[in-house]
């Protein structure tokens, strides 16, 4: 757990040993305490170095331990004892020093980092604050503004940036432990009073109150209801205004609130969920650890509209050679210009050279003959996509993976157009594709584990969080979006306004309510799909029949707006009005309110008062219910997959863990009971009918989310 050795005659070397990230578990903390005692008691030892094994200092407190009763020596007194030591202690930071690990390093008298190391206090991302003295020592060491930045964002900084801040004393390109040992020998016997950070005054800028006010306002604006960023500001404020001991007391109080909050439980769940989705499996039994990906060197993108452009940029920025194809010369030139601009802006932001030479442009599909993988991103039209897949199958070299960026069409139908259907998968990016982190990798019944593994690995290489999902209409994300959108429309019919529904959803934590989001994406997208499905029909017969289609309740409100040319932001009118087409500032539209009044009158609907609770329950529980159906159908392997898709692709507030985790915080029995209630009131809305898996989970005592897979297995084996 930590090895103690004496090196170079007079240096006690404590090596943290707890794979994979040397987290500061109870056993590691005990070993540090024991090793420090030994180092202090051995007269030959004049100084101490703390490092981590395998080139990695430590990933901080062991997050798994937060779930249960804490045992072993607590971090705070351990770090105080190190700081109070009469012999100098040097932290040798390789790889990472995050959270509690950086707090440990701040308790040391000196910090030496490898040039490639990264340090940070990411506790805020787990719904916590640096609760082992980090919120009090960091501002004393690097000043209030820099500490506020690091602690409220949780961002990792490079060794070079850490040196600039004065967070580390030295950086090296050589063996960090050797450098630290030599350094420790040099400083042995020197006075330590000036090296104990807790004794430093906290130097604040003269306008510190204004600074805290500004930061607090920014944090409140961006936190979307998360409490940890606010507590982080309060803790740093305590460092700036109180003596160290009182600041520590404030840190403890704030930490006590955060560590017992539902938000930290959600964020810790999400931390592990993000990692769990990499361990994908398919119903065939194929898995991440038994399926080897094939290397991709050269990729192609077919269709250079908004999505294709973003995908080409994401690939080129990650170092892939890209062939970008658009069949019309004029569109190709426009796309080339747009892509070059995106690459240049991205490169400027990251301080690197733009990867312009990574992309070759072509008008002819023949130009993709030699690539390893193609991503088709043409219009969302099955006939067109089928044609492209036939052409690709004829043109590409044997073994080329053929992927579609469809957002919900049947992957199997595309695979059937090719000679090698096992090489076909969906790669569903989210707009803007070079920015959004999510990638749904969609396997059809014929997709091989090799194709899935290759797409998953490619996703990782271009910086995406990739989730493997099965093939069905809308896959996971868009399939769950359907009942959510549908409920929002029904609520308008029954008396709500777009502003009210959006306000409730934004207060819940979504970056954008459903109507603002629809205006941004374009109302015509869904309209075209509904027309293709025979749902949206021009001039339907009047009366009740227009609100009942294919045997279920249907709201034509979206279709009616589209018939008026109101496609959202791009036309300057949608659920809201905008100053001009393309503007992003949504304003309530009196025209829309009269339109809703007329619509209700026409259909003899009496507007009623709808409250916050009903908006949340109907929109979210119908979506969650669909999530349970997706699990039941085996489209997602586990609830973590759904939650990761929703946080990264649909702006679900991370501090609520994702829709399936949220259901556990509400209580599965409550979700079931409310769905039953709403289904009784709206029997013609099938998405409100609670699904079997939800009933089974409630009947089995609502097990914790980590145990759902066992129940899902049982339910699926009974089908």
Ligand X SMILES: CC(C)(COP(=O)(O)OP(=O)(O)OC[C@H]1O[C@@H](n2cnc3c(N)ncnc32)[C@H](O)[C@@H]1OP(=O)(O)O)[C@@H](O)C(=O)NCCC(=O)NCCSC(=O)C[C@@H](O)CCCCCCCCCCCCC(=O)O
Catalytic residues: 103, 123
* C-beta of 272 vs 602, nearer to ligand X: 272
Pairing mode, strands 424-429 and 438-443: antiparallel
Give the one residue of 20, 43, 534, 590 binding ligand X; rule: CB under 6 A. 20
- Residue 302's nearest CA partner among 381, 361, 370 is 361
How long a stretch of residues is the chain? 719
Residue (456 or 480) nearer to ligand X, CB? 456
How far is 573 from 555, CA to CA, in rounded Å? 19
Q: Is 60 in the site for ligand X (CB under 6 A)?
A: yes
Tokens of 332: 């190709």
By CB under 6 A, residue 132 contacts ligand X: yes
Is the CB of 113 or the CB of 675 nearer to ligand X? Answer: 113
Examine residue 133 and tell whether it contacts ligand X (CB under 6 A): no
As measured in angstroms, the least distance from the Cβ of 325 to ligand X is 34
Sequence-separated (6 or more) residues with CB below 8 Å from residue 346: 313, 317, 354, 434
Q: Which residues of 121-152 are buried (b: 16+ CB within 10 A; e: fewer)?
A: bbbbbbbbbbbbbbbbbbbbbbbbebbbebbb
Judge contact between 644 and 277, C-beta under 8 A.
yes
Interface with ligand X in residues 68-87 (CB under 6 A): 75-76
Residues whose CB falls within 8 Å of the CB of residue 221, separated by 6 or more in sequence, listed in order: none
Q: Using CB under 6 A, pick the residue from 3, 77, 115, 272 that binds ligand X.
A: 272
User: What are the backbone dihedrals phi and psi of residue 518, each rounded to the nearest 5 degrees, phi first?
Assistant: -65, -40
Burial class (CB in 10 A: 0-12, 13-18, 19+), 665: middle
Residue closer to ligand X (CB basis): 167 or 184? 167
Cβ closest to ligand X, residue 264 vs residue 478: 264
| CA distances, 34 to each of 31, 263, 510, 622 (Å) | 5, 35, 48, 55
Give the residue, chosen from 12, 52, 99, 653, that forms a contact with ligand X under the rule CB under 6 A: 99
Q: How many helices (H) and strands (E) does the chain have?
A: 29, 19
**Among the residue ranges 19-27, 337-345, 547-555, 698-706, the one whose residues contact ligand X (CB under 6 A):** 19-27
Q: Does 462 bind ligand X (CB under 6 A)?
A: no
Q: Which of 83, 94, 103, 169 binds ligand X (CB under 6 A)?
A: 103
Distance CA 509, CA 458 (A): 31
Instruction: List the Cα angle 659/662/666 in 5-degree steps.
Output: 135
The verdict on 61 binding ligand X (CB under 6 A) reads yes
Cα gap 199→576, rounded to integer Å: 56
Cβ-closest residue to ligand X?
99
Q: Which residue from 13, 96, 202, 644 is in contact with ligand X, where contact means CB under 6 A? A: 96
Please choose, from the candidates 107, 103, 147, the residue with its C-alpha nearest in 3D space to the C-alpha of residue 235.
Answer: 147
Q: How far is the CB of 257 from ligand X (least distance, A)?
A: 9
Q: Does 427 bind ligand X (CB under 6 A)?
A: no
Considering only 11, 29, 51, 59, the residue that binds ligand X (CB under 6 A) is: 59
Q: What is the CA radius of gyration of the chain?
A: 29
CB nearer to ligand X: pick between 252 and 345 = 252
What's the closest the beta carbon of residue 58 comes to ligand X, in angstroms?
A: 8
- Binding to ligand X by residue 275, rule CB under 6 A? yes
CB count within 10 Å of CB 598 equals 10
Name the token pair of 447: 């997709």
Nearest alpha carbon to residue 28 among 74, 77, 96, 92: 74
Q: Can residue 643 be called a binding residue for ligand X (CB under 6 A)?
A: no
Query: Quick check: 23 binds ligand X (CB under 6 A)?
Result: yes
CB of 259 to ligand X, least distance (A): 5
Span 246-265, contacts to ligand X by CB under 6 A = 252, 255-256, 259
- Shortest distance, position 443 Cβ to ligand X, whole Å: 22
Residue with smaller CB distance to ligand X, 134 or 653:
134
Triad 645, 648, 649: Cα angle to 5°? 70
**Cβ of residue 121: shortest distance to ligand X, in angstroms?**
7
Q: How far is the CB of 20 from ligand X (least distance, A)?
A: 4
CB under 6 A: which stretch of 58-66, 337-345, 573-581, 637-645 binds ligand X?
A: 58-66
d(CA 132, CA 134): 6
User: What x/- string results for residues 105 through 124 when contact with ligand X is judged by CB under 6 A?
Assistant: -----------------xx-
Q: How far is the CB of 191 from ligand X (least distance, A)?
A: 29
By beta-carbon proximity to ligand X, the closer residue of 23 and 505 is 23
Q: Do residues 627 and 472 make contact, with C-beta atoms less than 8 angstroms apart? A: no
Distance of closest approach, residue 522 Cβ to ligand X, in angstroms: 36
Residue bearing tokens 């799909």: 529
* Residue with smaller CB distance to ligand X, 15 or 418: 15
3-class state of residue 712 by DSSP: helix
Q: What is the Cα–Cα distance from 662 to 659, expressed in whole angstroms?
A: 5
Q: Which of 615, 618, 628 is nearest to 690 (CA)?
A: 628
Closest to ligand X by CB, 63 vs 711, is 63
Is residue 537 part of the contact set for ligand X (CB under 6 A)? no
Stretch that binds ligand X, among 99-107, 541-549, 648-656, 684-692 (CB under 6 A): 99-107
Query: Is 374 a binder of ligand X (CB under 6 A)?
Result: no
Q: How many residues bind ligand X (CB under 6 A)?
A: 30
Residues that bind ligand X (CB under 6 A): 20-21, 23, 59-64, 75-76, 96, 98-100, 103, 122-123, 126, 128, 130-132, 134, 252, 255-256, 259, 272, 275
């Amino acid at each position: 757990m930590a090895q103690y050795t004496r090196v170079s005659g007079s240096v006690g070397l404590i090596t943290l040993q707890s794979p994979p990230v040397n987290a500061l578990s109870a056993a590691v903390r005990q070993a540090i305490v024991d090793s420090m005692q030994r180092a202090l008691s051995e007269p030959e030892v004049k100084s101490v170095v703390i490092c981590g094994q395998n080139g990695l200092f430590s990933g901080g407190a062991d997050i798994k331990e937060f779930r249960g009763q804490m045992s072993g020596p607590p971090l705070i007194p351990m770090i105080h004892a190190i700081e109070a030591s009469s012999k100098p202690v040097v932290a040798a930071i390789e790889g990472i020093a995050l959270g509690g690990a950086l707090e440990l390093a701040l308790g040391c008298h000196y910090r030496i980092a490898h040039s490639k190391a990264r340090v940070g206090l990411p506790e805020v991302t787990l719904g916590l604050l640096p609760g082992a003295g980090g919120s009090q020592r960091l501002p004393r060491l690097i000043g209030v503004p820099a500490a506020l930045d690091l602690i409220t964002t949780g961002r990792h900084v490079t060794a070079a940036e850490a040196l600039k801040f004065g967070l580390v004393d030295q950086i090296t390109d050589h063996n960090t432990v050797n450098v630290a040992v030599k350094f420790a020998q040099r400083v042995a016997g020197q006075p330590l009073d000036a090296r104990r950070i807790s004794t430093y005054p906290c130097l604040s800028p003269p306008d510190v109150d204004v600074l805290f006010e500004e930061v607090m306002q920014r944090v409140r604006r961006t936190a979307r209801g998360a409490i940890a960023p606010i507590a982080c500001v309060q803790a740093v404020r305590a460092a700036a205004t109180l003596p160290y001991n009182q600041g520590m007391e404030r840190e403890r109080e704030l930490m006590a609130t955060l560590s017992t909050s539902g938000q930290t439980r959600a964020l810790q769940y999400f931390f592990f969920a993000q990692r769990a989705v990499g361990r994908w499996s398919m119903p065939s039994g194929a898995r991440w650890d038994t399926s080897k990906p094939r290397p991709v060197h050269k990729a192609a993108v077919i269709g250079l509209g908004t999505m294709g452009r973003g995908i080409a940029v994401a690939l080129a920025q990650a170092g892939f050679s890209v062939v970008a194809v658009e069949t019309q010369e004029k569109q190709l030139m426009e796309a080339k210009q747009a892509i070059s601009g995106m690459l240049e802006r991205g490169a400027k932001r990251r301080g690197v050279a733009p990867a312009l030479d990574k992309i070759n442009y072509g008008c002819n599909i023949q130009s993709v003959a030699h690539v390893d993988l193609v991503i088709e991103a043409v219009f969302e039209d099955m006939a067109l996509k089928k044609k492209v897949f036939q052409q690709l199958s004829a043109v590409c070299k044997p073994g080329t993976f053929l992927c579609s960026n469809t957002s919900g069409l049947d992957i199997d139908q595309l695979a059937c157009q090719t000679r090698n259907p096992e090489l076909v998968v969906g790669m569903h990016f989210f707009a803007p594709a070079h920015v959004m982190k999510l990638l749904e990798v969609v396997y059809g019944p014929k997709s091989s584990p090799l194709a899935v593994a290759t797409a998953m690995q490619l996703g990782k290489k271009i910086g995406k969080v990739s989730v493997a999902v099965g093939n069905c209409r809308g896959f996971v994300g868009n399939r769950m979006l359907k009942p959510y959108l549908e409920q929002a429309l029904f609520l308008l019919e029954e008396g709500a306004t777009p502003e009210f529904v959006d306000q409730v959803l934004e207060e819940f934590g979504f970056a954008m309510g459903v109507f603002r989001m629809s205006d941004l994406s374009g109302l015509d997208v869904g309209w075209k799909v509904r027309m293709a499905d025979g749902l949206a029909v021009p001039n339907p017969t009047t009366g009740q029949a227009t609100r009942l289609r294919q045997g279920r309740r249907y709201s034509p409100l979206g279709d009616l707006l589209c018939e008026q040319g109101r496609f959202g932001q791009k036309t300057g009118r949608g659920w809201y009005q905008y100053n001009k087409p393309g503007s992003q500032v949504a304003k309530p539209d009196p025209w829309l309110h009269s339109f809703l009044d007329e619509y209700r009158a026409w259909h003899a609907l009496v507007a009623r008062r709808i409250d916050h609770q009903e908006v949340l329950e109907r929109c979210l529980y119908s979506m969650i219910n669909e999530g349970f159906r997706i699990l039941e159908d085996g489209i997602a392997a586990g609830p973590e997959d759904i939650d990761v898709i929703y946080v990264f692709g649909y702006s679900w507030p991370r501090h609520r863990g994702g829709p399936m985790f949220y259901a556990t915080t509400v209580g599965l029995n409550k979700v079931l009971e409310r769905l039953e209630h709403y289904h009784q009131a709206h029997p013609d809305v099938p998405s409100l009918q609670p699904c079997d898996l939800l009933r089974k989970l409630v009947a089995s005592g609502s097990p914790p989310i980590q145990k759902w897979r066992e129940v899902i297995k049982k339910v699926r084996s009974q089908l």
